Amino acid sequence: MNNDNSNRFIKAYNQIDSALRIQGDMKRSISYTEAVRKAARFNSLVAKYEDQLIDYGRLRNAIVHNSDPDIVIAEPHDDVVEEYERIAKLICTPPLAINTVCNKVVSTIEYNVKLKDVLEFGYKSGFSSIPIFKNGMLIGVANGQKIADVIGKKIYEKRDICEFLRNTTIEEVLKEFSNENYYTIANEKITLDKVLNLFTENRKLLVVLITKTGTLLEPPLGIITITDIMDINKILDNYEMER
């Protein structure tokens, strides 16, 4: 009997089992199913395929639990093997954000630019989130949603909005933002699953900036916003195996 499918399936199982234990610093004594359950708490990809991974683990047990290793009692179908291999690649070598959904066209603005000019630039460029720098250091992100909240507050306070737009610097506007962590910085090695984790862990997160090493003193290499989540999931769903 040709055991190619079962061999490929078991190889994918071993790759996933090893990756989960390394990523989660798990002991070898825990079962594969327990490793999947634990990993699903911190890995969005594992969480997405949690039930499927556990079902495949049961199939693996049916394949290998026999006294004669040459006898295969459950040869998996081609489509099952291919899907398990695809998931294994996603978990073991997920795509980098910088190479996929990340917008690499990132413009920055200096801290002393007036709000009117920031809004005009955002309209002309189509950027809804613009990193703000002061003396070479990132001090915040001019996010359209957050700016709208500030302008709404000023309207409520009966401020002269035209005067506010003309005479208020973007640095002053940033100080009006609430203290919630609406943006974060990641290094260029961040993978798409890790980006999803960031948005899942912080429901108020709107922007992920990518720099070379993930520090405030570097120019951004790319930017990901909450509106990109659908595209991220689509990329992961269609992530093809290298042949």
Structure tokens at 58: 């049961």
68-94, pLDDT tens digit by residue? 555 666 788 999 999 999 999 999 988
Query: What's the CA gap between 94 and 99, in Å, rounded?
Result: 11
- Residue matched to tokens 């002269």: 160
65 falls in which pLDDT band (50, 70, 90)? low
Query: What's the CA gap between 121 and 177, in Å, rounded?
Result: 20
66 falls in which pLDDT band (50, 70, 90)? low
| End-to-end C-alpha distance for the chain, whole angstroms | 25
**What percentage of the chain has pLDDT greater than the value 70?**
93
Mean pLDDT, rounded, for 130-143: 96
Q: How far is CA 203 from the centre of its chain?
A: 13
pLDDT recorded at residue 169: 98
Of residues 94, 110, 131, 124, the one with CA closest to residue 224: 131
Mean pLDDT of the chain: 90
So where are the chain's domains?
4-93, 99-237
Query: What's the CA gap between 212 and 187, in Å, rounded?
Result: 5
2 pLDDT more than 80: no
113-134, pLDDT tens digit by residue? 999 999 999 999 999 999 999 9
Class of domain 99-237: alpha beta
Strand 109-110 and strand 137-143: the pairing is unpaired
Question: Where do runs of H (alpha helix) occur along the chain?
Answer: 4-23, 32-39, 44-48, 50-64, 78-92, 115-125, 144-156, 161-167, 170-176, 192-201, 229-237
178-206, pLDDT tens digit by residue? 777 899 999 999 999 899 989 988 999 99
| 48 and 61 Cβ atoms separated by less than 8 Å | no
Count of other CB atoms within 10 angstroms of residue 1: 8
* Model-wide pTM > 0.95: no
pLDDT recorded at residue 25: 87
Enter the DSSP assignment of 226.
G
